[in-house]
Amino acid sequence: MPGNAAPIKSVKLFFLFGILLAMATLTARAANPIDALVQDKRVALAMSLLDKNLDWVTEQQIAITEIPAPEFHEAARAAYVAKLLAACGLDVHTDSVGNVIGERGGSFGKSKDVVLVVAHLDTVFPAGTDVRVKRVNGRLQAPGIADDGAGLAALVAIARAMNEAQIKTQTKIVFAADVGEEGEGNLRGIRELMAAYKGNVRAVIALDGAATDYVTTIGLASRRLDMQITGPGGHSWSDFGAPNPITALARGIVQFSRTRVPQEPRTTFNFGVIDGGNSVNSIPAEAGVKVDLRSEDDAELARLESELRKSFASAVDEEMAAAEPGNEALKLKVTVIGVRPGGRLAADSPLLTAIENVDRYLGNRCRLERSSTDANLPLSQGIPAIAIGAGGLGGASHSLEEWYDPAGRELGLKRAMLTLLAIAGAQP
């Protein structure tokens, strides 16, 4: 019966596929350039030093986290990190905005190329926050312990291992602890770094927070605006007919909410805070709303902002047209309270290939992410950049209960260092 032959055939086929798959896997493994990279004696030594120095790395993470670094007040923490980087044999200086920069020379002829590795000094926590690190159930707990205590600790861990193993690279490497990554800092640290090495930055690796299970390749662009409308105000009864800033604001919100946004590139808007007026029987003299606009694409974001401005300008006109003539005109004031440019790492970028090869070598599973980090700025300038976690586990970021668990940190450290070396080129 033909029916009997079929299973035998498929068993044979299955077997054949198995062999082919095994061969393909072996070929793929052999083709991974990271295998060759870790054959280098110095690279192998640096890898083992990352394992050996783990306790020291955690001590440094605690010391760094316990130095308060609110936005715009990063200097004390910067001074400490500067000392650590100098002890790793780097040529260290602090620039005009407060970034700590540690340079490590390359050996590749006259090339001025640099690979930039950054972790941010600033935290979202205001001065006076208790930043002492507590040990709770084997975890470290403190505001900023992971974001970006973990990244800063990884920065010095990698600099130290490379120094002790005397690794030479083709391209110069710049280790930077930068300012102004969070909130109103508006990326001023990375902005200054990109300007200082303008034209020579081959790639940027941002070490931000914990984890090893993602790589940020899309920098989400965002703009935040404060829309304020002011007018004459008055009595609800006797001045009825005067233009009302709250009504105008409502007209603007409704009008703009009809704006269509694309799914791809993903684009969003949010009216997040509204205020205005002070009593139920007064025509308010002012009203305002804070708006958050985001997109994976800068052009889309610009379009959205222009729509927002148009909607509110026409809402004010509409409210004036509805008011009794002879009233003082409403005024619209738009303030940009935050700007982050966006961008995307090309799918065929050598930087992406490098980290994918490293993940394959380390057996690490990872997904591509979009996020808003220091990588936004280089990506917006068309320069290859990624943001990755520095290993270990973390949670409750930006809260007083923020925690970090150093278990498994070595995977993150090795992942970051190998990616860096794959891009900077280890010199045998």
Point out which residues bind Zn ion (CB under 5 A).
147-148, 208
Please give the backbone phi and psi of residue 421, each rounded to the nearest 5 degrees, phi first.
-70, -35
Which helix H or strand E contains 321, and what residues bound it? helix 298-322
**Minimal distance, residue 41 CB to Zn ion, in Å:** 35
**Minimal distance, residue 54 CB to Zn ion, in Å:** 22
Q: Indicate the residue among 162 and 387 with the shorter CB distance to Zn ion.
A: 387
What is the Cα–Cα distance from 168 to 107, expressed in whole angstroms? 7
**Minimal distance, residue 123 CB to Zn ion, in Å:** 9
Beta bridge partners of 274: 289
**Minimal distance, residue 343 CB to Zn ion, in Å:** 18
Q: Cα angle at 391 between 181 and 103, to 5 degrees?
A: 55
Q: Indicate the residue among 208 and 359 with the shorter CB distance to Zn ion.
A: 208
Please give the backbone phi and psi of residue 94, each rounded to the nearest 5 degrees, phi first.
-115, 130
Q: Indicate the residue among 255 and 371 with the shorter CB distance to Zn ion.
A: 371
**Minimal distance, residue 136 CB to Zn ion, in Å:** 22
Q: Indicate the residue among 208 and 297 with the shorter CB distance to Zn ion.
A: 208
**Minimal distance, residue 124 CB to Zn ion, in Å:** 9
Q: Indicate the residue among 149 and 243 with the shorter CB distance to Zn ion.
A: 149
Q: Indicate the residue among 206 and 366 with the shorter CB distance to Zn ion.
A: 206
Instruction: Report which DSSP code applies to 363.
Output: T
Residue at token pair 């350039």: 33
Q: Indicate the residue among 311 and 397 with the shorter CB distance to Zn ion.
A: 397
> Going along 247-381, which residue ranges are E strands?
267-276, 282-283, 286-295, 331-340, 343-344, 367-371
**Minimal distance, residue 375 CB to Zn ion, in Å:** 11
Beta bridge partners of 203: 115
Q: Indicate the residue among 124 and 283 with the shorter CB distance to Zn ion.
A: 124
What is the Cα–Cα distance from 58 to 40, expressed in whole angstroms? 27
What is the Cα–Cα distance from 225 to 365, expressed in whole angstroms? 38
Instruction: Mark out the alpha helices in 111-214 (DSSP H runs).
Output: 149-164, 188-196
Q: Indicate the residue among 74 and 208 with the shorter CB distance to Zn ion.
A: 208
CA distances from 250 to 282, 333, 417 (A): 17, 15, 52
What is the Cα–Cα distance from 189 to 198, expressed in whole angstroms? 14
**Minimal distance, residue 183 CB to Zn ion, in Å:** 11
Query: Which amino acid belongs to residue 373?
Result: T
**Minimal distance, residue 387 CB to Zn ion, in Å:** 8
**Minimal distance, residue 370 CB to Zn ion, in Å:** 15
What is the Cα–Cα distance from 102 to 82, expressed in whole angstroms? 8
For residue 354, the number of C-alpha atoms closer than 13 Å in the C-beta half-sphere is 24
Compute, in degrees rounded to 10, the torsion defined by CA atoms 157, 158, 160, 163: 170
Query: Which amino acid belongs to residue 2?
Result: P
Q: Indicate the residue among 133 and 207 with the shorter CB distance to Zn ion.
A: 207
